[in-house]
Amino acid sequence: MRSTAKVVNFDRVLKHAERPHLERAVALPFVKWAGGKRSLIPSLAPHFPDEIDTYWEPFVGGGAVFFTFANRIKRAYLSDTNEDLTTTYQMVKAKVEKLIDRLQEHERKHRERRGKTYADGKTYYQRVRASEPTDPLEVAARFIYLNKTCFNGLYRVNKSGQFNVPEGSYPNPDICNADRLRQASKTLAKATIRLGDFDRAVSPGEGDFIYCDPPYDGCFSGYQADGFKGDSQTRLRDAGNRWKAMGATIVLCNADTDAMRKLYADDYAIHNAKAPRSINSKGDARGAVAELIITNG
Ligand SMILES: C[S@@+](CC[C@H](N)C(=O)[O-])C[C@H]1O[C@@H](n2cnc3c(N)ncnc32)[C@H](O)[C@@H]1O
């Protein structure tokens, strides 16, 4: 017999989370992510077909868009240049129960060690942050633990690639949300998850659908040591032109700047959208920012 307890709990989470949306999310992101697109979903929904055979999302981040529209999608290719993030997606997909076990252990130790330091003066958070696991399951558990306990869910690394965000002050962080992880795992069954730059990660066929949510023009680009710099926006537009020529449909978000309007002025439709933002480079600035939804459809 089906266990109703879990379904009821998860439905409650969904109802709460989808308040600002018209679309009912299939699953919810299991990490907080700068530039998360949940608030843009109502503006994006009309641009997403009811049925998508092959879906590409080369800047997947927290995956809010894929998790929302997953019921419309038959097969997905999700990628990002953040290796810890893509490893975590792979573990959520393939080893969710083991990952839950490891996260519950982090959760227990985090609570036990609250307000205490070890002999070396480090807190539990600082110990985990300094650790450098190589086993993918440990990488994923560390990544989610740090994401849930660090300041504002930010991801920032120093020049040597070491995560350097301080601990946030959350009395009771939700380190292991087992229902959410299991739902994400089920939803990821239809996805192939890859590490890599957008240019190499996407190779669409005729009729494929590509959703791009790159780091925004003129905004926070500190996701990784190498950032999204220089001519990356032009490189993305050029890749878009190639994908278009291959018969793909493209939907792309970016900040409403003169540079972006100019870059996509030819052969694309530019739509205005406005979305509230809760995480940015300062971590505390909130408010509506003007955004663009750019399509070739
Ligand atoms: C705006 S965020 C995506 C947010 C995501 N749509 C969400 O809802 O959470 C941009 C993502 O692009 C990734 N990224 C940065 N440079 C990239 C590149 N050259 N190729 C692919 N991904 C890249 C970052 O690691 C980050 O996860």
Q: Which domains does the chain have, with CATH numbers?
A: 4-83+179-295 (3.40.50.150), 89-174 (1.10.1020.10)
Q: How far apart are CA 63 and CA 78, in angstroms?
A: 9
Please give the pLDDT value at position 38: 83
Tell me the CA–centroid distance for residue 89 and ligand 1, in Å: 14
Ligand 1 neighbour 223 (Cβ under 6 A):
yes
- pLDDT confidence bin for 224, thresholds 50/70/90: low
Please give the pLDDT value at position 37: 86
AA letter at 95: K
- pLDDT confidence bin for 20, thresholds 50/70/90: very low
Please give the pLDDT value at position 218: 82
Q: pLDDT exceeding 70 applies to what percent of the chain?
A: 85
Ligand 1 neighbour 215 (Cβ under 6 A):
yes
Helix (H, G, I), strand (E, B) or coil at 125: helix
pLDDT over threshold 90, residue 294: yes
CA distances from 130 to 78, 143, 213 (A): 28, 12, 30
Helix (H, G, I), strand (E, B) or coil at 287: strand
Among protein residues, the one with the nearest Cα to ligand 1's atom 27 is: 61
Contact 282, 152 (CB under 8 A): no
From the alpha carbon of 221, which atom of ligand 1 is closest?
15
Please give the pLDDT value at position 36: 81
This prediction has a pTM of 0.88
- pLDDT confidence bin for 276, thresholds 50/70/90: low
The segment with the largest mean pLDDT, out of 2-6, 32-36, 76-80, 270-274, is 76-80
Query: What is the DSSP code string of 138-203?
Result: HHHHHHHHHHHHBGGG---B-TTS-B-PPBP--SS-----HHHHHHHHHHGGGEEEEES-HHHH--
pLDDT over threshold 80, residue 8: no
Please give the pLDDT value at position 159: 84
Tell me the CA–centroid distance for residue 215 and ligand 1, in Å: 6
CA distances from 268 to 127, 245, 260 (A): 49, 13, 11
Q: Are strands 269-277 and 287-295 parallel, antiparallel or unpaired?
A: antiparallel
Ligand 1 neighbour 59 (Cβ under 6 A):
yes
Ligand 1 neighbour 153 (Cβ under 6 A):
no
**Ligand 1 mutation target, pool 193, 223, 231, most atoms within 8 A of CB:** 223
AA letter at 49: P
Which position has the higher pLDDT, 150 or 8? 150
Q: Which residue bears the tokens 């972006």?
A: 260
CA distances from 26 to 64, 65, 163, 198 (A): 10, 10, 31, 25
Q: How far apart are CA 180 and CA 12, in angstroms?
A: 11
Burial of 127 (0-12, 13-18, 19+ CB in 10 A): middle
Across 235-253, average pLDDT: 97
Candidate from 13-27, 32-46, 95-109 with smallest mean pLDDT:
13-27
- pLDDT confidence bin for 133, thresholds 50/70/90: very high
Task: Please write the tens of the pLDDT for every residue from 250-264.
Answer: 999 999 999 999 999
- pLDDT confidence bin for 39, thresholds 50/70/90: confident
Contact 279, 154 (CB under 8 A): yes
**Ligand 1 mutation target, pool 80, 86, 229, most atoms within 8 A of CB:** 80
- pLDDT confidence bin for 19, thresholds 50/70/90: very low
Ligand 1 neighbour 61 (Cβ under 6 A):
yes
Tell me the CA–centroid distance for residue 111 and ligand 1, in Å: 32
Candidate from 12-16, 110-114, 129-133, 167-171 with smallest mean pLDDT:
12-16
Which position has the higher pLDDT, 203 or 274? 203
Across 4-29, average pLDDT: 52
Across 126-150, average pLDDT: 97
